[in-house]
Amino acid sequence: MIERFNDRNVVTGIIQLGLILLIITIGGFAYRASGRPKDGTAPPEPVMAGAVAGAASGAMVALFVIVVTLLAEAGYVARDMFESVTPALLDILTFQQNPWVGSAIMIVMAAGVGGLAGYAHRLPAEGRKLTFLGLGTLLIVGLAAPIVDVMVKGLGLPSGWLFRREGLTVAGALLVLVVTVALRWYLDRQGGFRRAAAKLPGITDSNIKKVGLTAAAVVVLALPWLVNSFISEVLGTVGLYILLGLGLNIVVGYAGLLDLGYVAFYAVGAYVTAVTTSLVGYLVTDDPLRPAQNGWTSFWLALPITVVIAFLIGVLIGAPVLRLRGDYLAIVTLGFGEIIRTLVLSDWLKPYFGGPQGVTDVPAPPPASFEFRQPQRLYYLILAFALLALFVSSRLKDSRIGRAWAAMREDEDIAEGMGVSVIKYKTLAFAIGAAVGCLGGAFFAAKLSVANPGSFTLLVSINVLAVVVLGGMGSIPGVVVGSLVLVGLPELLREFGEYRLHIYGAILVLIMLYRPAGLIPDKRRARELAEAKELKETSGVAAS
């Protein structure tokens, strides 16, 4: 599996992703190992320390290669147990040499990388920042090369000298590096982006936000026409997750209730829309073999029905269990998600939900002449509803309801004492979250023309949770960024596709460990988490 990373060019013909991952790992270790020790002892000689640390990590890799080779010679093939230990992986780790020579090269290279990483400590802070920024941008642009390529072409510019075979050319790589570093350096000189932008003609401090928003709106609207239909479709999927994320954000972020069965509402949205609009024979006509001309209703009528039903189901599921404490609630909602999936899968309800096949033949939203299924059009449709959801949730946040949620989240007992009806507001959060999330389901059914149980597994709940957590619980821009990063990127970086869930898991853990308020923290939420941490630190001192 890992060898597939090496098919991916970052700078075509020179650097592949596999090599980069290796270098980043070794360099990262060396960088940390050569830094100033925490206990305040004298700083080590950073280049030497880095080289030693690098060589040590290289030696670990070499040891692994040699052990595997020796075992294989003795008749024990490591691959029988460890599936990923393929000959191709060994080839990468030995630079296509024999194991001994390869190991030697590996150690020397690792020492070099480690030394360079150690040298970074010697650079002045500004230089170090610029170096990391430049290399980071290079990596991102290199990985995103296929998309950027399409977009450059979409603008009608020649792109052959920048990109070749899904990677940057050497010229392109240099250009990216120089432009990034120069731009950042210039902006730092000017005292930041806002200051620099304010010097442009026609921009003042007061309208800069407006100009920025307008620019963003133009980009968002023009995007489908710059890229091909595959990317438009990916953007549509991102939009679906934005809808789901906004819905879950209300439950988890605003009200502080961990819902692990959120997929239930996604499923409700898809199934209600599908059942009410599907043309499939058994739902509409008496003769199961003859497909109907029309479903029971059209998509646009089904949408409000779906929202109402999802809202009611949210109340029904929420009301009895919302008195439970946080972690019990998580498990119970997870149970509800599984119950709903089991129900739609069962033979018992097959006459309504079609069993494992699901409900098929869901028509596209009318009018038929507009062809909503075309990815670009669907993008606009989803965009419109995502904007609506954005508006609703940003207005909710500072409304009376939103403030009640915040109070409840910070301290349930005090909120109750202040006259906030905890049960009422919890139920409301649950139901509104359900109503927003079901829109995602409705579009899913309309997009794929089917609602089938296979699409509504627990993993969806966890994906949406990861989106919300990465962006920052309670943060609306966070949901957008989270969806772009977690849903958009893996679709585009096919090599990571298999590792997607692996990465989701790691992200959930790492974010909680290092940045619990997320990438774009919501101010109030960040403060709550920081306070809890302070408390923990003071009580930790008392306990130890």
Partner 1 sequence: MTAAPTPMVRGLSTRLARLPIRRISLIALGIAIIYGVVAGTTATLRTGKFDTHDWVNFLVQGIARGSVYALIALGYTLVYGILLMINFAHGEVFMAGSFTAFFVASALAGHGFLDRQPIISFVILLLVSVATSVTVALLLERLAYRPLRGAPRLVPLITAIGASLFLQYTFRGLYGEQAQAYPEIDAFQGTVQIAGFPVTKEQLIVIVGALILWLALYLFIERTRTGRAMRAVGEDRQIAALMGIDVDRTIRITFAVGGALAGAAGILYVLLFNQVNFTMGFIPGLKAFTAAVLGGIGSITGAALGGLILGVLEAVGPTLFLTGTGIPSAFQLTPIVSFGILVLVLIFLPGGLLGAPEEKRA
How many Å apart are CA 96 and CA 90, to the nearest integer? 8
Q: Which residue's entry shows tokens 């997870």?
A: 334
* Bridging pattern class, strands 167-168 and 163-164: antiparallel
Q: Does 345 bind partner 1 (CB under 8 A)?
A: yes
Which of 13, 21, 70, 82 is the binder for partner 1 (CB under 8 A)? 82
Q: Which of these segments, 42-50, 153-161, 226-234, 512-520, binds partner 1 (CB under 8 A)?
A: 512-520
Which of 267, 309, 362, 529 is the binder for partner 1 (CB under 8 A)? 529
- Give the per-residue contact string, 410-429, with partner 1 (x = CB under 8 A; - = no): ---x---------x------
Q: Rounded to the nearest 5 degrees, what angle is found at the Cα of 507, between the Cα atoms of 504 and 509?
A: 115
Q: Which of these segments, 198-206, 216-224, 486-494, 507-515, binds partner 1 (CB under 8 A)?
A: 507-515
Q: Is 164 helix (H, G, I), strand (E, B) or coil?
A: strand
Nearest to 241 by CA among 454, 506, 490: 490
Nearest to 106 by CA among 93, 90, 88: 93
Q: Which of these segments, 208-216, 240-248, 322-330, 396-404, binds partner 1 (CB under 8 A)?
A: 322-330
Which of 206, 293, 369, 544 is the binder for partner 1 (CB under 8 A)? 544
Which of 516, 518, 521, 526 is the binder for partner 1 (CB under 8 A)? 516
Cβ atoms < 10 Å from Cβ of 356: 13
Instruction: Decide whether 161 or 328 has the Cβ nearer to partner 1.
Output: 328
Assigned token pair, 387: 């904007």
Q: Which residue's entry shows tokens 């040298």?
A: 119
Q: Which of these segments, 80-88, 194-202, 203-211, 265-273, binds partner 1 (CB under 8 A)?
A: 80-88
- Say which amino acid occupies 242: I
Closest separation between CB of residue 254 and partner 1, Å? 13
Q: Which of residues 237-266 bind partner 1 (CB under 8 A)?
A: 252, 256, 258, 260
* Cα dihedral value 355, 361, 362, 365, nearest 10: 170
Closest separation between CB of residue 245 and partner 1, Å? 15
How many Å apart are CA 411 and CA 482, to the nearest integer? 27
- Give the per-residue contact string, 26-65, with partner 1 (x = CB under 8 A; - = no): ----------------------------------------
Instruction: Decide whether 78 or 387 has the Cβ nearer to partner 1.
Output: 78
Q: Does 326 bind partner 1 (CB under 8 A)?
A: yes
Instruction: Decide whether 49 or 481 has the Cβ nearer to partner 1.
Output: 481
Instruction: Decide whether 308 or 512 has the Cβ nearer to partner 1.
Output: 512
- Give the per-residue contact string, 437-466, with partner 1 (x = CB under 8 A; - = no): -------------------------x--xx
Nearest to 239 by CA among 30, 83, 65, 387: 387
- Which long-range contacts (C-beta less than 8 Å, at least 24 apart) are formed by 400-408? 401/425, 401/428, 402/254, 405/254, 405/255, 405/256, 405/429, 406/254, 406/524, 408/255, 408/256
Q: What is the CA radius of gyration of the chain?
A: 27
Instruction: Decide whether 159 or 249 has the Cβ nearer to partner 1.
Output: 249
Q: Does 469 bind partner 1 (CB under 8 A)?
A: yes
Q: Which residues contact 12 (CB under 8 A, 6 or more apart)?
A: 164, 165, 166, 167, 168, 169
Count of residues that interact with partner 1, criterion CB under 8 A: 61
- The site for partner 1 (CB under 8 A) is made up of 1, 80-84, 252, 256, 258, 260, 319-321, 324-328, 330-332, 334-336, 338-339, 342-343, 345-348, 413, 423, 462, 465-466, 469, 499, 501-502, 504-509, 512-513, 516, 528-529, 532-533, 535-536, 539-540, 542-544
